Amino acid sequence: MRIAVAGGTGWVGRMVVEAVRATGDVPVVLARSAGVDLTTGAGLDEALHGCATVIDVSNVMTTSRRKSVAFFDAATTQLLTAGARAGVGHHIALSIVGCDRVGLGYYMGKRRQEELVLSAPVPHTVLRATQFHEFAAQMLARRGPVVAPRMRSQPVAAREVADALVRLAGGAPAGLAPDLAGPEVLEMDDMVRRLARARGERRLLVPVRLPGATGRALTGGALLPTADGPRGRQTFAEWLTTPDAGARGR
The overall pTM is greater than 0.75: yes
Supply the pLDDT for residue 153. 96
Instruction: Kindly indicate the confidence band of residue 144, based on its pLDDT and cuts at 50, 70 and 90.
Output: confident
pLDDT at 175: 98
Find the mean pLDDT for residues 232-242: 96
CA-based radius of gyration for the chain: 18
pLDDT in tens, 76-126: 999 999 999 999 999 999 999 999 999 999 999 999 999 999 999 999 999
Compute the average pLDDT of residues 124-149.
90
Asked if the model's pLDDT at residue 244 lies above 90, the reply is no
Largest Cα separation within the chain, whole Å, is: 53
> When comparing pLDDT for 138 and 102, which is higher?
102
Coil, helix or strand at residue 56: strand
In the predicted model, what is the mean pLDDT of residues 224-233? 96
pLDDT digits (tens, 9 = 90+) for 154-208: 999 999 999 999 999 999 999 999 999 999 999 999 999 999 999 988 888 889 9
Which DSSP state fits 144?
S
Contact indicator for 225, 167 with CB cutoff of 8 Å: no
* pLDDT of 138 above 90: no
CA distance 136 to 85: 40
Cα atoms in the 13 Å half-sphere on the side-chain side of 13 = 21
The share of the chain scoring above pLDDT 70, in percent, equals 98
Residue 210 DSSP one-character state:
P
Burial class (CB in 10 A: 0-12, 13-18, 19+), 206: exposed
Predicted confidence (pLDDT) at residue 248 exceeds the cutoff of 80: no
- For residue 97, give the nearest of 86, 115, 111 by alpha carbon: 111
Task: Tell me which of 139 and 17 has the higher pLDDT.
Answer: 17
Q: Among 54-63, 180-189, 240-249, name the one with the lowest average pLDDT.
A: 240-249
Residue 175 contacts residue 220 (beta carbons within 8 Å): no
Residue 249 is predicted with a pLDDT of 39
In the three-class reduction of DSSP (H, G, I as helix; E, B as strand; rest coil), residue 127 is classed as: strand
